[in-house]
Chains A and B, each alone.
Chain A
Amino acid sequence: MSVRAITPDYKVQARDRVENFHGNQIVYVAWDRHLMFCAPFAYALPPTMTFAELRNQVMPEAFGLHEEFTQINWETATWLLDNQPFTPDLNQSLQAQGVGHKSVLRFQTPELTGFQGKAV
């Protein structure tokens, strides 16, 4: 479907194209079933950033507020990239492993069940 516009051949440019972010791309990151954090976080990151940098340097500031964060076993944590199972390569850049502009990264830690075991 498309919009009915009064202007013939109504064409617009998307406001959030990657080139508007000054060399960064937007990546959303969420920890499933840990609703202490009300929503996924949005980060503006260089596409050349490695996955290790994202996980070890970017994520702890916000995710680290959760007392279970330091207990995460990253060897067994599972990931979804844009809703598809994904195995991150820590040493590769985001771009090189398909983490694109406005991609959603979610991780799961089934053994950590959140505050009071209630997914919080």
Chain B
Amino acid sequence: MSAKKLNLKDKYRLLTRDLDWEYSYADRKKAFPYEEFEGIKITDWSKWEDPFRLTMDAYWKYQAEKEKKLYAIFDAFAQNNGHLNVTDARYVNAIKIFLTGVSPLEYQAYQGYAHVGRQFGGAGARVACQMQSIDELRHVQTQIHAMSHYNKYFDGFQDWTHMHDRVWYLSVPKSFFDDARSAGPFEFLIAISFSFEYVLTNLLFVPFMSGAAHNGDMATCTFGFSAQSDEARHMTLGLEIIKFLLEQHEDNVPIVQKWIDKWFWRGTRLLSIVAMMMDYMLPNKVMSWKEAWEVYFEEAGGALFKDLARYGIRMPKFVETTEKEKEHISHQAWWIFYNYGHAAGFHTWIPSDEEMDWLSEKYPDTFDKYYRPRWELAKKMEAEGKRFYSQALPQLCTTCQIPMGFTEMDDPTQIAYRSSDYEGEKYHFCSDGCKHIFDQEPEKYVQSWLPVHQIYQGNCGGASVEEVLRDYYKLNLGADNLDIKGSPDEQRWKEWKGVA
């Protein structure tokens, strides 16, 4: 008689938690040295409920199926010159930001989950993190493949990993993940699994993927669908980690709240790049950033925090600021890139008259009053043949590393200035949120690798900005950077489309 086939539940148990063992002669604390220093108290790891009911063999089978379909579509996209079906050459610049700013974060997530997947004492948490780690590696690979087609036809895609590590504005996403990965394992999960993947991910993923769908980009859109079921699993890990920590010990509550406050604010700052992408970069708009924030954070997040209130968790600190910021942040962010378009690895432009009318309609209280005049000035100067680029480097926020372009939300013509003194040095911030984060852990942020200061310290080569851009960032000057008007990207696009 052949051996009886295991049922799914037994198989799952044997291939996950049953792989764990008791420590009889080694010191358990030494085996898991990262587990206590954050102050989190775990009384019983067996209470962990596995968010992914998947074993490795099922995982491979499932992912391989998805992969087959995905690569069939990538092939079809390439063979049919799919890049010609996007709405406009401007659209591709959103994808450049994705490849240089977001895909490397998938790789950082892969490394981060691999690390914490070793460090938790509970086998359930280790297995979940290892699974997610593999997912993240798959995401970075499939994203690279999805976007590689564009590299053959457009500028700015050629050296994205190098750019991620060096280019000034990419220090914003890079430092976000460096911050999370240099934290302890529990904070990493609250930062990435909960605050980012659970609370904010829809504001990253949905805009990019529906943006792709609305703008004829089948490759990116299909990648999005293929990653969606993984993202759903990642969200359940986010929810499990928070419930588990809060149920394990009441002393965990204030620590978790502190991390939620920090990572919610870090996340909103990171998303300002998505905000400008939605409002300014997509030729066919999906919805405004303000609408996305209302749907995906205010409604969905509001319900979540109501649910967490029974554990003593409140809404993240500074959430009231974000209610005002949703009216301003996209405009201020795109203006930063318009100012520094000579130093960016993608193209910038003035919104068309039609687009400005759309912005007026979507932002009736702010666009005409504060932002249309900025674009009118840009238009006037462009018409006079003086498309302007800022001629000096900008001051950066020490925490989020974004140029200090955000204003007081109650006085939107006044740049917001916040500062702290620490051990005799001054530090500057764009907002109360960024200042608060610094003040909680100054030892961490005094190490911020601020691109502008690094240039002035001589750590980025070159005596001139041009040399830094060309030799240190490896931008193809005159092709990757500057306005879309007159760019090789635009020229080629016109030739393909047969327009003069």
Which stretch, B83-91, B136-144, B385-393, touches the partner chain A? B385-393
Q: Which of A35-49 contact B (CB under 8 A)?
A: 35-44
Question: Which residues of A have CB within 8 Å of B44?
Answer: none
Q: A90 within 8 Å of B by Cβ? A: no
Question: Which residues of B have CB within 8 Å of A61?
Answer: 391-392
Count of chain B residues with a beta carbon within 8 Å of a chain A beta carbon: 57
Known: A21-B456, A115-B377. A38 touches B332 (CB 8 A): yes
- A: contact size bracket: 35 or more
Pair A33/B413 contact, Cβ less than 8 Å = yes
Pair A22/B392 contact, Cβ less than 8 Å = no
Pair B394/A35 contact, Cβ less than 8 Å = no
Question: Which residues of B have CB within 8 Å of A5?
Answer: 37, 443
CB of B360 to closest CB in A, whole Å: 14
Pair A102/B425 contact, Cβ less than 8 Å = yes
Pair B442/A39 contact, Cβ less than 8 Å = no
Contact with B along A61-94 (1 / 0, CB 8 A): 1100100000000000000001100000000000
Pair A12/B39 contact, Cβ less than 8 Å = no
**Does more than half of chain A's interface fall in helix, strand or loop, or is it mixed?**
loop
Pair A37/B184 contact, Cβ less than 8 Å = no
Q: B495 within 8 Å of A by Cβ? A: no
A residues apposed to B, CB below 8 Å: 1-6, 10-17, 20-22, 24, 26, 28, 30, 32-33, 35-44, 61-62, 65, 82-83, 100-104, 114-116, 118-120
Q: List 24 A-B contacts (CB under 8 A).
A: A1-B441, A3-B443, A3-B444, A12-B446, A14-B447, A15-B453, A16-B425, A16-B457, A28-B428, A30-B395, A35-B335, A35-B415, A36-B374, A39-B404, A40-B394, A61-B392, A65-B390, A65-B391, A82-B419, A101-B426, A104-B419, A115-B373, A118-B373, A120-B377
B residues apposed to A, CB below 8 Å: 33-34, 37-39, 184, 332, 335-336, 338-340, 369-370, 373-374, 376-377, 388, 390-396, 403-405, 407, 413-415, 417, 419, 422-423, 425-428, 439-444, 446-450, 452-453, 456-458
